[in-house]
Amino acid sequence: MEKTKKRNGFASGVGFILAAAGSAVGLGNLWSFPYKTSANGGAAFVLMYVISVLVIGTVVMTAEIYLGKRAQANPVTAYKKAKKKLGWLGLFAVIIPLFILCYYSILGGYTVKFTLNSFNRNSEILSSFTGNIPEVILYTAIFLVLALVVVMAGVKNGIEKVSKILMPALFIILVLIAVYCLCLGEGVSEGLNYYLNPDFGALGFEGILAAMSQAFFSLSLGMGIIVSYGSYTGNETKVGKSVVMICTFDTLVALLAGLAIFPAIYHYKAVYGSELSDHGIMLLFSSLPLVFDNLGWVGQMVSFLFFGMVVIAALTSVISLLEVVTQFVIQKFRAHRKHAILYVSLITFAVSIPVSISLGFALTAPSGTTPAMQICGQNWLDFFDMVTNSVLMPLCAFGSCVAIGWCIGKPAKRTDAFNPAFLKNALEQDGLSLGKFGMMFAVMVKYVTPILIALVEIFGVIDIIFPKNASGTRIFSADGLGIVLTAYALFAIAIAVYFIFFKNSYTGCNADEHGFTEAVQDEAYKTEGEV
């Protein structure tokens, strides 16, 4: 059979690794990891996080890269090729990124504003900026256009080229900033102590769950991204080696971020005596600007570099989110890349407008009052975030384990279906060989990892429906129930849409992108995909 004239995808294994790392390294590393670490027992949490990356992260990532690689197609076709009845997972994996895009892009816009405003007292602008909706929308648009230009240029000429420059740049900037912050003197050791002092008592069951769910979000698993990027890899990419590199890079960035952040805010505390909020939006856009503004011109330079680095982290993540949705639109609807990305960006932009208004209300409401425009007691950003991260992503990652762990190979006897050794051989024949880790992977992906993911899902949902009150007792929350029901309703809609519209129709593959067709090999695949 003839080979494809031009393969649509990454030109090199390194390009793929850096692009996937670009997706993985994002706000999750820079603002939630350090905070979760300090809140859940410091080094004890770090240890648990590393274990979670090993037992969940590496396994799901291997499964997802391979799902994409073997199908050379968007997530819908990829899950469908593993098992036709599972194709809805792929649809799901296209919808989740669309939701995430609608709030992540706004935060990206914030980071652009704070970078450009670094020499002009960032610490004073949070409420005036976030309350100024036209300005927020303008910066969201600027940020989206940056991402759009890259995705429009394609996988090899856009995403790969940009990642190869930006990811090393991000790492160098982060190391420089961490060194600077560690040399601030006063307060540094208190900060390090707060961040890393191991306290296994403070870790507890909840800390363990937090570490596991942080691993999903941080590695961009359970949302089609890794499947999509994996589909653009060919023989030059070794799955196992890539997984190790991506996970190591992502974890290293998260750890380093904490080494920069905590010494900085404890330095401020030591010098000025006031406590600063150390998580989420407040950490990034209020506490750190205050620290930088009080360190003179060097602080302003550091601020510029720091926010520039956050822009890079958020941009490469948004690029990956856009690519998943765009890939599906290109392949299912035979759209040109530039049209597809325009549609996707326009939808994102339109939805991000109400999200930014709601967020603006939440950040500027006088304390004690309930901000306007909330859904289920949350601003739209938190609402979207909880629906996707706490409920939908683990479900999708669970599906990735099922697709690889239970659907590859045709067992001759019933017992084969349960036997990891059979799976190991089936995967090897299918094209995934992991050397001496093959057997271990088979056991993990079939049994251990899905069980752990199910725990994350169950306890995540319980935590939303029965949140803890100030005294630590759990009480029922109707708003929480609303969030969970919305997520499951979305889930049901995706399943219905798949079975009605997509199950029996051709859902496209990478060779369908304009400029990459003409391959007999892919014609053969098309028929296969239609079965």
Residues in contact with ligand PHE by the rule CB under 6 A: 23-24, 26-29, 100, 217-218, 220, 223, 225, 317, 320-321
Sequence-separated (6 or more) residues with CB below 8 Å from residue 297 = none
- Minimum distance, C-beta of residue 250 to ligand PHE, in the bound complex (Å): 7
SS3 content of the chain, % helix, strand, coil (to 5): 80, 0, 20
CB of 315 or CB of 511, closer to ligand PHE: 315
Q: Which residues pair with 468 in a beta bridge?
A: 474
CA trace torsion 438, 440, 442, 447 (10° rounding): -170
- Minimum distance, C-beta of residue 368 to ligand PHE, in the bound complex (Å): 31
Beta strand spans in 268-415 (E): none
- Minimum distance, C-beta of residue 56 to ligand PHE, in the bound complex (Å): 14
- Minimum distance, C-beta of residue 391 to ligand PHE, in the bound complex (Å): 14
Burial of 134 (0-12, 13-18, 19+ CB in 10 A): exposed
| Gyration radius from the chain CA atoms | 23
CB of 254 or CB of 423, closer to ligand PHE: 254
- Minimum distance, C-beta of residue 370 to ligand PHE, in the bound complex (Å): 29
CB of 385 or CB of 479, closer to ligand PHE: 385
Q: Which residues of 404-441 are buried (b: 16+ CB within 10 A; e: fewer)?
A: bbbbbbeeeeeeeeeebebbbbbbeeeebebeebbeeb
Question: Measuring CA to CA, how many Å separate 247 from each of 323, 460, 525?
Answer: 21, 23, 32
CB of 21 or CB of 188, closer to ligand PHE: 21
CB of 61 or CB of 209, closer to ligand PHE: 61
Largest CA distance in the chain: 72
CB of 4 or CB of 317, closer to ligand PHE: 317
CB contact at 8 A, 91 and 498:
yes
Residue showing tokens 């949070």: 126
- Minimum distance, C-beta of residue 30 to ligand PHE, in the bound complex (Å): 8
- Minimum distance, C-beta of residue 334 to ligand PHE, in the bound complex (Å): 26
CB of 27 or CB of 184, closer to ligand PHE: 27
